[in-house]
Amino acid sequence: MSNEEKKGSSAPRSGGRRKVLQAGAAGALALGFPAIVRARSDAIKIGHLTPMTGFLGALGGWAVLGIKMAAEEINAAGGVMGRQLDLTSEDSVNPATAATKAQRMIERDKVDVLMGEINSASAKTIMQVAKRNRRLYMQIGARSDALRGAFCNRYTFHVDIPVTVMVNAEGQGLMREGLVKGKRIYALTSDYLFGHDLAKAAKKFVTTHGGTVIGDELVATDATDFSPYLLKIRQAKPDLVATNLGGNQVTNFVKQYAEFGLPYPVAGFNLNTADAWAAGPGNLGGIWPTVWHHHVDTPGTRAFVAAFRKKYNKTPENHAWIEYVSLHVMARAMSETKSTDTEKLIAYFEKEPKFDLLKTRMGYFRNWDHQMMQEAYTFTVKAPGTYTEAWDFLKFSAPIPGPDQPLELLAPTKTENPCRF
């Protein structure tokens, strides 16, 4: 700065103002500092990464509640092999930070396994760290197909349903409503790995079933105002608006769609229960897919929901559920192999043991691409006045696939999925 002044630049003696502005800009961009949650003891170390800030931060909040509850349960029951679980949850922030933190957890904190993530782009970088260090990574909540396909590696196991399953589950719901065949569909797509994957799978489904995609707009992940997109939708006059959005985007879109009151039906290939709750009753419509919901009619889900409500005084969302079952799956694997060794755990999972996911049918990791095979659901919105609790306005379908269909029905097949270890 002082050099510039000596040279007599175009804005003489503007040092003070510039300094303030530069520092201010740095400060404004750095807001949203990582939150760190730490556990004590030094038994079996679980390194847990999930977004706690940013557009997926709300979902990450649920994730932390779920995995924390599972750790406390397991530890209260005597731990794993008599050892306590030491769970450390950190904010993964973004793909670069996620990788740095994962590496640090392995090197400095000496974690036995890595778990977590919701953001597909961050999951991808953590997977690379896991592979480089030959350490097991249970990728819990990111749904991009590419993670289980082109980018797959043998050190990573994926718990959540992938994009293809969501699209197929949602697609069946839309077909039943007659919203695909011969229809003109306008799509909004989240501009990152997950959104692109979702758009690709959705477009494939729509075109193979006789629909036409008449528009597909990319939306930046930090977009909060959708009004320019709503004007474009109105101009296009589609038969169906299909959203391939993620996290906070979905809620913002749904609220503003209700605000403008456009007449076209909305469906989405991704919506989490938390996003739906945040939208509020009266704002949400349409058909959406989900991996789990609190009305699943099994003793396991009933017990989990009751325990969660007792502990946190709220109803668990699907990210709380998936983190909870994931840690239980991991604990069982360690107990049965009597080991925290990555190779032994991989060998165990690849035998396709069945795990209780609190659903009607048990799930298992498919051994050739390491993704969990499990039931999915769709949901619609109850009519006003037919529910009493404010958060209870969602109506869930029976499990998909049905009881007499194979669990792998909706998943990508070996010819569709390029994953080879």
CA distance 267 to 269: 7
Q: Is 383 in the site for another protein (CB under 8 A)?
A: no
How many Å apart are CA 110 and CA 47, to the nearest integer? 9
φ, ψ for residue 160, nearest 5 deg: -70, 160
Total residues at interface with another protein (CB under 8 A): 65
Determine how many CB atoms are found less than 10 A away from the CB of residue 96: 12
| Binds another protein (CB under 8 A): choice among 214, 258, 362, 407 | 258
Nearest in space to 417 (alpha carbons), one of 111, 162, 203, 99: 162
Site for another protein in 190-229 (CB under 8 A): 191, 217-220, 222-225, 227-229
For residues 15 to 54, the per-residue mask of contacts with another protein, x marking binding by CB under 8 A and - elsewhere, is -xx-xxx-xxx-xxxxxxx-x----------------xxx
Residue 58 makes contact with another protein by CB under 8 A: yes
Does residue 78 bind another protein (CB under 8 A)?
Answer: no
Is position 235 an interface residue for another protein (rule: CB under 8 A)? yes
Name the one range near another protein by CB under 8 A: 78-86, 108-116, 147-155, 279-287: 279-287
Closer residue to another protein (CB): 21 or 347 = 21
Q: Does 407 bind another protein (CB under 8 A)?
A: no
As a whole number of angstroms, the distance between CA 421 and CA 242 comes to 34
Q: Does 251 bind another protein (CB under 8 A)?
A: yes
- Least distance from another protein to the Cβ atom of residue 131, Å: 30
**297-316 positions binding another protein, by CB under 8 A:** 314
> By CB under 8 A, is residue 259 in contact with another protein?
yes
Q: Are strands 137-139 and 85-91 parallel, antiparallel or unpaired?
A: unpaired
Q: Is 256 in the site for another protein (CB under 8 A)?
A: yes
**Does residue 281 belong to the site contacting another protein (CB under 8 A)?**
yes
| Choice from 184, 232, 295, 311 touching another protein (CB under 8 A) | 232
Min dist CB 317 to another protein, Å, is 8
Considering the complex, what minimum distance in angstroms separates the CB of residue 58 from another protein?
5
187/269 Cα distance (integer angstroms): 10
* Identified binder of another protein from the candidate list 6, 7, 13, 310, rule CB under 8 A: 13
The span of 9-17, 145-153, 178-186, 299-307 binding another protein (CB under 8 A) equals: 9-17
CA-to-CA dists, residue 24 to 20, 21, 27, 35, 54, angstroms: 6, 5, 5, 22, 20
- Specify the residue, 113 or 274, whose C-beta has the smaller distance to another protein: 274
The answer to whether 274 contacts another protein (rule: CB under 8 A) is yes
Residue 57 makes contact with another protein by CB under 8 A: yes
Looking at the Cβ atoms of 385 and 403, the one nearer to another protein is 385
CA-to-CA separations, 234 to 237, 241, 304, in angstroms, rounded: 5, 10, 43
Return the residue of 260, 297, 306, 398 that touches another protein, per CB under 8 A. 260
Q: Of 301, 235, 255, 247, give the one whose Cα is nearest residue 272.
A: 247
Q: Which of 269, 277, 348, 364 binds another protein (CB under 8 A)?
A: 277
Closest of 175, 147, 141 to residue 291, by C-alpha? 141
Asked if residue 178 binds another protein (CB under 8 A), the reply is no
Say whether residue 282 binds another protein (CB under 8 A). yes
Task: Tell me the closest approach of the beta carbon of residue 187 to another protein, in angstroms.
Answer: 11
- Nearer to another protein (CB atom), residue 266 or residue 333: 266
Question: What b-and-e string marks burial along 351-373, b requiring 16 or more CB atoms within 10 Å of the CB?
Answer: eeeebebbbebebbbbeebbbbb
Binding site for another protein (CB under 8 A): 10-11, 13-14, 16-17, 19-21, 23-25, 27-33, 35, 52-54, 57-58, 60-62, 191, 217-220, 222-225, 227-229, 231-232, 234-235, 248, 251-252, 255-256, 258-262, 274, 277-283, 314, 317, 390
